[in-house]
Structure 1
Amino acid sequence: MSVRLSADTLSDIAGKAAVPGYDRSGLAPGILHFGVGNFHRAHQAVYLDELFEKGEGHDFAIVGAGVMPSDAAMRDKLASQDYLTTVVEQDNARTSARVTGPMIDMLPVGDTAAIIDKLADPAIRIVSLTVTEGGYFIDSDGVFDPSHPAIAADGQNPDAPKTVFGLIGAGLKLRRERGVQPFTVMSCDNIPHNGKVCRGSVVGTARLSDPDFAAWIDQNVAFPNGMVDRITPATSQREIDHCRETFGIDDEWPVYCEEFKQWVLEDDFPAGRPALEKVGVQFVPDVAPYEAMKIRILNGGHAIIAYPAGLMDVHFVHEAMETDLVAKFLDKLEAEEVLPIVPPVPDTDLSDYYALIKRRFANPKIGDTVRRLCLDGSNRQPKFIVPSILDNLKAGKSPDGLALESALWCRYCLGVTDSGATIEPNDPNWDKLTERARAAESDPTAWLSMTDVYGSLKDEPRFAEPFAKWLKMLAEKGTAETLKAYLGEG
């Protein structure tokens, strides 16, 4: 018999899963988090839960916030179970569940006044974000775009902002007026130099209405860079049913993830921070080598396997790794065009790191889907793939395999797999991408002309020519035969 997750039923759940051993009534808010999705609840919230179990950091509990319509549904579900979450860790050898309790509230979605008021609360010393790679309003070079309609609207109405960055600015302004020390802004998204990018978005939004205040933010607010890592699939009915049937817990939105997790942070928290180093967070002077390693090898690797697998109707990521052509494509491309241009990382062997990544991709228990990896390519490609293309060109090397990866993404965006099955829209810019993919069938530069993704790469023959070659071959021979040609097996 299953038990509905709530604070009142934790004693009943204790025999089925680990539950908080700390007194949640003694927690006090110290972090306001935007974007209470699966990754946040499997990563930052888990680290805090582990710290709270040690009897430390109880004044750094989480208050959630959101600006997207989907955030309202998340708030309703979490509120109904007292902001508790079942986190199920799945390794090849074991599966375990724990109920985490570091979140104590979530503000009403769309209530600008409530969010700004909480941001101004002196108890809030950290504002963290997981708003996805596409949520920072940046171009292919990682530069903030102040012309975006949502940002422009905040510039015209700074006292009633709708974006995360407008809200953060409004909260900082109110703190300054009240003589309250600024909070630290901590991005937890997979973006190179995420702290720097987040600074650009907050400062850039503020500059539209008050340049002097924007300069004050730039000079007085900390934005530490960080690298986060944990494979966390989306929750579907499959996970909800598994949680109930395996652990006897009725959780409206459990989180399933791999056992592995990593967090590397620059230690720049003037207003204070929890002692996360006691639960495995690495604090370093410069996070850049770690984030380059992860973004290019892991996130880039996800893109490398995603599009050929999607075109060949492979559903799960572990099944993609079991598909010989896809696995060999990943090995060859990583070995020849990714690993050689990743800068050295302290105390890390990149070959060992890649071997770990492959084992994680191949974990059959995670149930991560190829479709999730294919999602939002227009925002992910310029961050995870294009930097490797540019660095290969700078090194005088041909990015032949990366050109094939780009051609596979283009082919995927036609919206039809090799078998003729329809690919449902899988990108915020899907219609535009599909239109360009069709045009690229006769003119490959139509795809490479997306300067927000590729910059000026369409004018670089060392990339544009192999891209055109592979795109033509994909159209004529299909994904499998094209991969064989790249691997020398054709």
Structure 2
Amino acid sequence: MAIKLSNQSIEQLSSKVKTPNYSRDSLSAGIIHIGIGNFHRAHQAMYMHKLFNKGKALDWGIRGAGIKSYDAVMRTKLQQQDWLTTVVELDSNNLTADISASMIDFIENDGPSLMTALARANIRIVSLTITEGGYFMDGETGDFDLTHPDIQADINDIEHALTVFGLIIHSLQYRREHNIAPFTVLSCDNIPHNGDVAKRAVLEMARVLDKDLASWIESNVSFPNSMVDCITPATSQEERKRLTELFDIEDQAPVFCEPFRQWVLEDNFVNGRPPLEDVGVEFVDDVAPYELMKLRVLNGGHASIAYPGALLGISFVHEVMNTPLIRAYFKKLVTEEIIATLPAVPGVNFDDYISIIETRFSNPEVRDTVSRLCQDASNRLPKFIFPIITANLEHGKGCKGLALVVALWSHLCFISSDNTSGIVLDDPQADRLMKQARLAKSDPAVFLQMKDVFGVISDSDIFKQHFTFWSTMLGKSDPQNTLKYYTSNKY
């Protein structure tokens, strides 16, 4: 019978399970983390867990927090098991389970409780995983949306703030008035320049409330940028069942993640920090090169293999990467056209990084789906592929392979318009994309006329030429032969 996870039951767990070698009674809070989802528990919380296992930084325990209804659900689940989490690393050769105890409690899911906690002097870092939507960015400009009703509500009644940024501003105001040192705001969300984005949100909101407070925050609070990486699938009943079968543990909210984990941080903390470099975190002066590398190789790589995978009827990402033809296409594309756009990254060998990405994508235990990678392409491609094309065009470099990525997407849109194909286009602009793909059947360049999607690359004659070539070949032949033609260097 499975053992229900709790402080008392840790001693009873199987020897296959790694358990903390530190006493939770020895931990005290130094961090409040807002947004206790799977990614935080697989990533930041695990780095802290590893640090505590070394007997270090025991005054940097994590207090969980959240303001959304789903945060309350997570709090209830974790409370039943004394805030413990089972983290299963999906190594393709050997699955391991580790009981993480780095979170010492979870603040009540309401504004006043979080306000009180944020005001305490022992809290020196407030970290965030609140998703891109939690930053209130305007969808078109990327600017902070001061007009959002939730932001306006906080501005009009900051004493009862309900947004993350309203709560942060209120607590910093309290700290300033009571001569309590401020904290560092540390975004751990997977968005470029995440610290700058958080800083802009706090400062713009604070300026409306109190310009002097805003100036004090700008001078005294730090918002380091960070790059985070760890593929962490959603947890379903299947994972909970698997945990029971493999490790005899009953956990209400286990986390399954890949064994790879990376965190690159700007060393800019106003009130101290734990020595995370002792557990593999990289502290650098500038995160931007690392962010760009990840966005273009990992995210761009995902987009590159998604569409041929879908067209070939493949369900899982590891199956796509273990298809020799697609793997050869991926390697050629990344090596010749994606890496070419990157500046040197300190301490990184690009060949080694590509090999790591190939290994990660090939991991059968992660079971990431092709359908997930294909979602929302009209928003993802402008973020992950089109900037690479633009960079290559600006520097006179090739974009034949990148044009093939876009042609494969266009072909997928066309195939999806046939109800008998069995392929469903999961995109907010699906109807428009399918219609445009049909119109482009005789003249592929018509697909590029969606200026709001393609931007400046639709004006490039070079890109149009390559896109038209591949689209014509896909129309006359099939994806396999087109990929073979590309990998054979005939074009």
Same fold (TM over 0.5): yes
Do 1:31 and 1:124's aligned partners in 2 also have CA atoms closer than 8 Å? yes
**CA shift for structure 1 position 125:** 0.8
Q: Give distance in 1, aligned partners of 2:329 and 2:203.
A: 41
State the match for 1:67 in structure 2.
Answer: 67
Q: How does 1:44-123 map to 2 (within 5 A)?
A: 44-109=44-109, 111-123=110-122
User: More displaced, 273-282 or 154-163?
Assistant: 154-163
User: More displaced, 381-390 or 187-196?
Assistant: 381-390
State the match for 1:126 in structure 2.
Answer: 125
Which structure has the larger Rg over C-alpha atoms?
2
Q: Give distance in 2, aligned partners of 1:439 and 1:165.
A: 41
The 1:303/1:206 distance shift into structure 2, 3 A limit, reads: farther
The 1:327/1:57 distance shift into structure 2, 3 A limit, reads: same
The 1:440/1:149 distance shift into structure 2, 3 A limit, reads: farther
**CA shift for structure 1 position 404:** 3.9
Do 1:439 and 1:446's aligned partners in 2 also have CA atoms closer than 8 Å? no
State the match for 2:388 in structure 1.
Answer: 388
Please state if 1:314 is matched with 2:301.
no
SS at match of 1:104: strand
User: More displaced, 296-305 or 36-45?
Assistant: 296-305
Q: Give distance in 2, aligned partners of 1:102 and 1:185.
A: 19
State the match for 2:201 in structure 1.
Answer: 201
Q: Give distance in 2, aligned partners of 1:424 and 1:149.
A: 32
Please state if 1:420 is matched with 2:416.
no
TM-score norm. by structure 1 comes to 0.87
Equivalent position amino acid for 2:422 in 1: A
Q: Give distance in 2, aligned partners of 1:283 and 1:249.
A: 36
SS at match of 1:264: strand
Please state if 1:444 is matched with 2:447.
yes
Q: Give distance in 1, aligned partners of 2:103 and 2:143.
A: 33
**CA shift for structure 1 position 468:** 6.6
Gaps of 5+ in 1: none
Q: How does 1:160-239 map to 2 (within 5 A)?
A: 160-239=160-239
State the match for 1:329 in structure 2.
Answer: 329
Equivalent position amino acid for 2:357 in 1: I
Task: Kindly provide the CA deviation profile for residues 430-458 of structure 1, in whole angstroms up to 9, marking residues without a partner as x.
Answer: 43x224313432353564414xxx55444
The 1:60/1:383 distance shift into structure 2, 3 A limit, reads: farther
**CA shift for structure 1 position 460:** 4.3
The 1:145/1:177 distance shift into structure 2, 3 A limit, reads: same
User: More displaced, 18-27 or 241-250?
Assistant: 18-27
Task: Kindly provide the CA deviation profile for residues 61-113 of structure 1, in whole angstroms up to 9, marking residues without a partner as x.
Answer: 1122223333232222222211111111122332211100111222333x122
Q: Give distance in 2, aligned partners of 1:148 and 1:446.
A: 32
Equivalent position amino acid for 1:449 in 2: D
Equivalent position amino acid for 2:40 in 1: H
Number of residue pairs the alignment of both structures matches: 481
The 1:301/1:242 distance shift into structure 2, 3 A limit, reads: same
State the match for 1:254 in structure 2.
Answer: 254
SS at match of 2:9: helix
Do 1:89 and 1:256's aligned partners in 2 also have CA atoms closer than 8 Å? yes
**CA shift for structure 1 position 215:** 3.5
Do 2:320 and 2:326's aligned partners in 1 also have CA atoms closer than 8 Å? yes
The 1:116/1:279 distance shift into structure 2, 3 A limit, reads: same
Please state if 1:273 is matched with 2:269.
no
Q: Give distance in 1, aligned partners of 2:385 and 2:357.
A: 17
Q: Give distance in 2, aligned partners of 1:412 and 1:83.
A: 45
**CA shift for structure 1 position 43:** 1.1
Equivalent position amino acid for 2:430 in 1: T
Q: Give distance in 2, aligned partners of 1:470 and 1:161.
A: 54
User: More displaced, 330-339 or 381-390?
Assistant: 381-390
**CA shift for structure 1 position 343:** 0.8
Q: Give distance in 1, aligned partners of 2:449 and 2:108.
A: 43
Q: How does 1:394-473 map to 2 (within 5 A)?
A: 394-406=394-406, 408-409=408-409, 416=416, 420-421=421-422, 423=424, 425=426, 430-431=427-428, 433-441=429-437, 442=439, 443-445=446-448, 447-450=450-453, 456-463=456-463, 466=466
Do 1:262 and 1:281's aligned partners in 2 also have CA atoms closer than 8 Å? yes
SS at match of 1:444: helix
Task: Kindly provide the CA deviation profile for residues 177-218 of structure 1, in whole angstroms up to 9, marking residues without a partner as x.
Answer: 332222111112222322222222322333444444334323
The 1:485/1:45 distance shift into structure 2, 3 A limit, reads: same
Q: How does 1:12-23 map to 2 (within 5 A)?
A: 12-13=12-13, 15-23=15-23
Do 1:414 and 1:434's aligned partners in 2 also have CA atoms closer than 8 Å? no
Q: Give distance in 2, aligned partners of 1:322 and 1:100.
A: 33
Q: Give distance in 1, aligned partners of 2:70 and 2:471.
A: 36
Q: Give distance in 1, aligned partners of 2:303 and 2:244.
A: 32
The 1:27/1:202 distance shift into structure 2, 3 A limit, reads: same
Task: Kindly provide the CA deviation profile for residues 106-129 of structure 1, in whole angstroms up to 9, marking residues without a partner as x.
Answer: 2333x1222222222222111112
Q: Give distance in 1, aligned partners of 2:459 and 2:486.
A: 23
Q: Give distance in 2, aligned partners of 1:60 and 1:339.
A: 38
The 1:261/1:10 distance shift into structure 2, 3 A limit, reads: same
Q: Give distance in 2, aligned partners of 1:377 and 1:155.
A: 35
User: More displaced, 285-294 or 79-88?
Assistant: 285-294
Do 2:27 and 2:61's aligned partners in 1 also have CA atoms closer than 8 Å? yes
SS at match of 1:8: coil
Q: Give distance in 1, aligned partners of 2:214 and 2:412.
A: 41
The 1:347/1:422 distance shift into structure 2, 3 A limit, reads: closer
Do 1:140 and 1:382's aligned partners in 2 also have CA atoms closer than 8 Å? no
TM-score norm. by structure 2 comes to 0.87
The 1:487/1:270 distance shift into structure 2, 3 A limit, reads: same
Alpha-carbon RMSD: 3.0
Q: Give distance in 1, aligned partners of 2:337 and 2:107.
A: 45
The 1:131/1:447 distance shift into structure 2, 3 A limit, reads: farther
Do 1:310 and 1:417's aligned partners in 2 also have CA atoms closer than 8 Å? no
**CA shift for structure 1 position 323:** 2.5
**CA shift for structure 1 position 267:** 1.1
The 1:57/1:398 distance shift into structure 2, 3 A limit, reads: same
